[in-house]
Amino acid sequence: MMQSLLVAPGVNDRTVLPFKLEDKDALMRSIVDGGARSAFFVLDLGRVVELHRRWQRALPGVRPFYAVKCNTDPGLLGALAALGAGFDCASRREMEAVLALGADPGTCIVYANPCKPEAHVRYAAQAGVNLTTYDSEFEVDLGIKYGARADEVVPLLRAAQHAGLNVAGVSFHVGYGGPRTDVYEAAIQAARAAFDAAAALGMPPMRLLDIGGGFAATAALFDEATAVIRAALARHFGDLLPRVEVIGEPGRYFAETPFTLAARVIGKRVRGEAREYWIDDGIYGSLNTVVTDGYVPRPRALAAASVPGEETYASTVFGPTCDSLDTVVTGYQLPEMSIGDWLLFDDMGAYTTACASNFNGFSAASDINTFLAYST
């Protein structure tokens, strides 16, 4: 598997650093020793492979269409394409990013956006992207924008029928609510009702069920959600599978855990026992996810030589901008650090660089290097 990833577009022109999973900090240290002077990411492609395996085991036959908006790193996109994933794209730029890696527009892209600018629709059509789904609690794809409540399904199907449009199937996205796994059962049941409504109207059989995203990478939550989905698919679609193709649109599931952020200490203040540090990434950069996506930062110092039992101090860590909101952690126990030292943040791939701003002249999305690595 590693070999096919190494030659994938998005990966093949970059160095991939092999490492043992338990030696991640040593890998981070070697990048620092190799001359890193500002914040950087490491993307572990081995972790992406592992997540893909886990997806296939938990949802056999359900092809993941990775939600590109979550993290657009070309290494991640290229690796997922090599693994056989498709892509959920919401804009022209996202379709371009995926097509640039050689993805087949006809089979690898769902253009999933509830509100499409005309120029983007034209681009999609001209590029050969022929499947579009929509982002709301429960929607039916009629080729143009229609969000559907359950009582609107039949009128919408009729409208499509009259317009001669091809209704490919049903798509829903439950959003990210953590452990609300029961919502999948209700959504899949409602989707089946739409399939039956179409059949009752004498429409050609629908062939696609898109179960959306919102999957957590946390093993317990993922296992719980996928168990609910497997049961609901068997209960409500057992007679239609495998003629009906089931796809999903995971974003954070694939992007969150493979990325580790290293941020550099660029400022320090000592007030009695308290320690205050400034680092070169923050709430307006990749760590916006603390505010926007509920990420709980648990940084650890990348020590030159970590001393067991070392004294720690209640520390505040600020981001680099001049806004006092730009505070990453407060009262957090850290060993004494100096300017030039590093803090590591795990699981930093979901809605991080993708949502970063360049407020105050700091640009996380374009200024932060990503190193590719492969854990074994």
Catalytically active residues are 322
Window 74-93: contact mask with ligand PLP (x via CB under 6 A): --------------x-----
Give how many residues touch ligand PLP by CB under 6 A: 17
Residue selected from 19, 138, 184, 215 as contacting ligand PLP according to rule CB under 6 A: 215
- Interaction between residue 348 and ligand PLP (CB under 6 A): no
- Interaction between residue 148 and ligand PLP (CB under 6 A): no
| Closest distance to ligand PLP from the beta carbon of 336 (Å) | 37
Residue selected from 69, 92, 120, 264 as contacting ligand PLP according to rule CB under 6 A: 69
Residue selected from 249, 280, 281, 347 as contacting ligand PLP according to rule CB under 6 A: 249
Beta carbons of 285 and 364 less than 8 angstroms apart: yes
Contact segment (CB under 6 A) with ligand PLP among 200-208, 217-225, 248-256, 304-312 equals 248-256
| Closest distance to ligand PLP from the beta carbon of 292 (Å) | 12
Q: Which is nearer to ligand PLP, 321 or 352 (CB)?
A: 352
Beta carbons of 137 and 114 less than 8 angstroms apart: no
**Secondary structure, 3-state, the chain:** CHHHHHCCCCCCCCCEEEECHHHHHHHHHHHHHCCCCCCEEEEEHHHHHHHHHHHHHHCCCCEEEEEHHHCCCHHHHHHHHHCCCEEEECCHHHHHHHHCCCCCHHHHEEEECCCCCHHHHHHHHHHCCCCEECCCCCEECCCCCCECCHHHHHHHHHHHHHHCCCCCEEECCCCCCCCCCHHHHHHHHHHHHHHHHHHHCCCCCCCEEECCCCCCCCHHHHHHHHHHHHHHHHHHHCCCCCCCEEEECCCHHHHCCCEEEEEEEEEEEEECCEEEEEECCCCCCHHHHHHHCCCCCCCEEECCCCCCCCCEEEEEEECCCCCCCCEEEEEEEEECCCCCCEEEECCCCCCCHHHCCCHHHCCHHHHCEEEEEEEC
Q: Which is nearer to ligand PLP, 40 or 66 (CB)?
A: 66
- Interaction between residue 212 and ligand PLP (CB under 6 A): yes
- Interaction between residue 112 and ligand PLP (CB under 6 A): yes
Residue selected from 67, 167, 190, 217 as contacting ligand PLP according to rule CB under 6 A: 67
| Closest distance to ligand PLP from the beta carbon of 114 (Å) | 8
Instruction: Using alpha carbons only, give the angle 351, 21, 217 rounded to the nearest 5 degrees.
Output: 35
Residue selected from 74, 105, 251, 258 as contacting ligand PLP according to rule CB under 6 A: 251
Q: Identify residues 254-313 at the interface with ligand PLP (CB under 6 A).
A: none
- Interaction between residue 116 and ligand PLP (CB under 6 A): no
- What residue number has its CB nearest to ligand PLP? 251
Rg over CA atoms, the chain? 23
Q: Which is nearer to ligand PLP, 249 or 281 (CB)?
A: 249
| Closest distance to ligand PLP from the beta carbon of 112 (Å) | 5
Q: Identify residues 156-185 at the interface with ligand PLP (CB under 6 A).
A: 173, 176
Q: Which is nearer to ligand PLP, 215 or 284 (CB)?
A: 215
For ligand PLP, the binding residues (CB under 6 A) are 67, 69-70, 88, 112, 135, 173, 176, 212-215, 249-253
